[in-house]
Structure 1
């Protein structure tokens, strides 16, 4: 990147402005998935080391957006939106379709280009591919499309199949799903696969050494982490009723139809059934479990310990950016309090699963309480007894160190408090409500969600096993 800096500061600034405008449009009206994905690229660097744009995913989990400002200025605002959407969707494809044999097939590369550009044209409401001026060979210039045109590929597919005596699909049916496109292209005698379709495809780059452009690194674990976090964030927004997030996720899920058991399980864990309004028993359980896992993880996220990656730090400093920090372990053991309301019926499968979840979370110290009208610490496996009445305030007072049980006070600082209850009792306001997670059982009152400020709250479908 140091060897390939933009020469004109005005062009660099205009490229940056176009990039920022495109990312703003994603968040407001175009693509919630792309908006969240680029939010994870904490460093967005103008450089001519890439011809167009690319997301770099390094082995330390860092994601960076590299973009060529000269190229952005050449294709204009709508073109920048198209290219950034295309790059984000490539990362999604890389995560969803992980089969190495599939990804090694150049026809699947072509299918991915067709699928991504088809969706981009629809979602961004563009009449065609972005274009830029290129020399026409006669001393002038002409506008040339950027990328693979899905309509042109379909026309060549139709001609190829009819030449073989087969009946081709219409464009609408051809582009119905990503794997449908791949399967139909495989029917062609000669699929139109160009040498290199995208910056992330093909062998190395334009050579070796300081003056050569190299293909950006795409660490598989970093891509997986960024994409899964993005999809989880968008799913939470969709389930809260955000229409754009819901529409985009359902469309993405529909396009992955036929992708195999792994994809079915992934969408099930994320709560696709709940988003579609499906009520299968197993899917209801999977969603609250997924929700609790994500919510707990967000409250137990590791702190940053300052380590200085010398090579990357030197490059970023030279480019005018602050040094990056890399995470290296938790700063301290996290403390989780799990309080079970024993005044009503607490399903044993719920208790067992929460025990398993907390027990397998690395670096976590758990404290278990049962409560009704009284407060009783216990350890998993012990029998808990319930009586009458429910009092949430005693849990709050104990967790915050104001109440003693058996002559002992709670002297830890709780990072998260999980309350499993039917919610029927006088409301409370903890000192740090953002650390409290409420699981409300069948027929319960989900008042924590309406509390000011609201607390993390989800209804547990306890009739399922």
Structure 2
């Protein structure tokens, strides 16, 4: 059995490579490609060998761990939270080759149980306590030894000091931990739990280990599944891709608000731009792409950014997000129930076609560029059925490319009534419910309150009134530049 230490700190057990950085992990590969290939074969064979009885193990490792990475950055194997709701399964190729197929099955079962027990997401106090890590290992290894009928821990060959080798157990032996726990408590004159009561759950093991005079902790480098590599102990790691995506979304939303006239957002964004000056071409291109330099009245050197186009594409996509119908798989559900697991809904087939209604205010000023681009956006969105209206005092359907005629006055309520099925045109009502309504207007008309304001998108032309943004609740609203600049 691997030696169990006393007093080892979490910081001493951190790996030298960020375990959420997939590129860095893949860069740590064994020199022998045959070892890599054999380790991959053993992993896939072990997952296949779990069969129906333990198929939930395979399901957890495939569904939760989106990437299985062979790397020498870990000594044995680990599951690591990536910060975006997913996990990584890491395994040392030479370690897998050394322990053989039976050992790999044990290790994969072990790592899957960490996921099932949600050990990567326990309270920060437990994640920071090495005694809890040992308790988790004891509890899981006990279950693995019983469920897999392994008779003991995996073993691997190590030098015996005389030129030969000897098979050495790998991992934490729950029986040995219970023996040392019982000796410690008996030495204090306290009554220890029996082995079966001791291994009941990971929290029972944790509570009992805490009763020891000198609590045991996990040995260095062994099963670092819940460690945070870099940063403060107790925090969940976040991978670089997720950080970049989240930061980009936050910046994009702040700049949208700034370009809509929000002074606080404008000041914050310009302050960030000022502080990042001199940071290199990459930052300059980033701010140019996001449209931040437009807040200073500048034209980006990288390329012209028509912000309203990006804003409309993002906003429309959020209202027409692709989805799939949820169905209950009867056969699979019956199998899951027989195995004692809750059945899950599965996805099958696309949702219905999305409906977009585009209404153009013929009394406002707009260029053909605006109409042409909206036509292109809606036409290129998969699964979308588009309907087009022009309106002033009345609503008039039209086909993009046709000439649009305007009259006098503007009435938004007519568009609302038509979209909601209360108004007919030539005796024909609008018989479908739109998933999104795009209004292109100068905003000057009596204000309206649609039944589902979250589905309405207002593009306010030059010099227009952006009252929809101040509606209760606010509606998606953005100013567009209808002419060339």
TM-score (norm 1): 0.48
